[in-house]
Amino acid sequence: MLRVDEILRRDGASDELRSVINHILVGCKEIAHKLSQGELAGILGSTETENVQGETQKKLDVISNDVLKHILKQDPNVRGIASEEEDNTVAANDDGKYLVTFDPLDGSSNIDVNLSVGTIFSILEAQGEGSGDNMELFLQSGRNQVAAGYVLYGPSAILVLTTGKGVNFFTLDRHIGEFVLTKEKVCIPEDTKEFAINMSNQRFWEKPMQDYISHCLQGEEGPLGKRYNMRWVASMVAEVHRILVRGGIFMYPWDSRDPGKAGKLRLMYEGNPMSFIVEQACGRSTTGREDIMDIQPTEIHQRVPVVLGSKNEVETVMRYHQEG
């Protein structure tokens, strides 16, 4: 059984990059263990605080963030970290080569009902000098990512990882405490009849998205000429994982509830890493009008509309936006 570090060596990852990824995985194993204990570990329920996004934090949001922050600060190759749960970027080691951004627990609203959640991470090279708490170092386009991945905490804990050499799946073998390779060179089917979107927000979407979903629901009799199924888990990690396994399209578009926000999902912690993974797995990712990884960030908690998944279906959504 091939372990993560063996695959990274094979794909030419540097010692420093392998070290950073391995430290992230130490944290994810600890999070997986705490999740497996559930209420026995006192991790369920909410805190009395909100994060910088204005969202009430779950207990495990805070615990997961602290676990990853503590472990990454111990790696001399990490100069700084940025988390969805932190107000500002955090300095680690001044001589570190890499910057790590992460969503410590995506889909945390699912914790108390025992549904799938995950950790998303992205790794960038630090460009130039400066302390890791300097936000400007992090403001790089997604094309600069040297690695991205997520761990899905479901019936099994699955790591999905890319360093720009394709996408591989690893499953946590709890007997040896290691992630081992279970699927190589994952490729998303180009076509699909399955979409994932939060339909409760339909009345707030722009017309192009309204039209696309309306035509999906018309099935074979509609302009798209096929019958669609809809799925929605309320965990981006779970949604993207399903797409990697069997195809599909995931959408969290702009809506008018808060016109000042470009979207719901965060560019640095969700949009960029998931786009890197999807594009490395033969898929496509866009805001509807531009490639997500081509966006030049202007702030660390920047939001962005997200449409990603099976290439031909994503391009269909892009066409609706171009014509709308």
The pTM of the full predicted model, rounded to 2 decimals, is 0.94
Task: Please state at what angle helix 236-246 crosses helix 272-280, rounded to 10 degrees.
Answer: 10
Predicted local confidence at residue 19, as pLDDT: 98
**Residue 14 assigned to a binding site:** no
**Measured CA distances, 29 to 36, 68, 146 (Å):** 11, 10, 22
141 annotated to bind ligand? no
107 is an annotated ligand-binding site residue = yes
Q: Which of 133, 136, 135, 159 is nearest to 148 (CA)?
A: 159
Length of the chain measured in residues: 324
Assess whether pLDDT exceeds 90 at residue 106: yes
108 is in an annotated binding site: yes
Confidence of residue 61 (pLDDT cuts 50, 70, 90): confident
Amino acid at position 257, single letter: R
User: How far is C-alpha 103 from the geometric centre of its chain's CA atoms?
Assistant: 7
**Domain 4-183 annotated CATH 2.40.30.170:** no
- At residue 115, the pLDDT reads 79
Q: Is the pLDDT of residue 56 over 80?
A: no
């010692």: which residue's tokens? Answer: 15
Residue 106 is labelled as binding a ligand? yes
* β-pairing verdict for 249-252 and 194-196: parallel
258 annotated among ligand-binding-site residues: no
154 is in an annotated binding site: no
Res 246 pLDDT > 70: yes
pLDDT of residue 184: 97
Level-2 CATH architecture, domain 194-323? 3-Layer(aba) Sandwich (3.40)
**Which pLDDT score, from 0 to 100, does residue 50 have?**
52
Residue 234 clears pLDDT 80, i.e. is over it:
yes
Note the pLDDT of residue 235. Answer: 94
Distance CA 160, CA 281 (A): 11
| pLDDT at position 307 | 98
Q: Please, which pLDDT band fits residue 55 given cuts at 50, 70 and 90?
A: low
Residue type, 33: H
109 is in an annotated binding site: yes
Q: Is residue 275 part of an annotated ligand binding site?
A: no
| 27 labelled ligand-binding | no
- What whole-number percentage of the chain has pLDDT above 90? 84
**If we measure between CA atoms, which residue out of 100, 60, 107 comes closest to residue 83?**
100
Q: DSSP assignment, residue 279?
A: H
pLDDT at 58 over 70: no
User: So where are the chain's domains?
Assistant: 4-183, 194-323
d(CA 16, CA 300): 24
Write out pLDDT tens, residues 147-188.
999 999 999 999 999 999 999 999 999 999 999 999 999 999
Mean pLDDT of the residues in the chain: 93
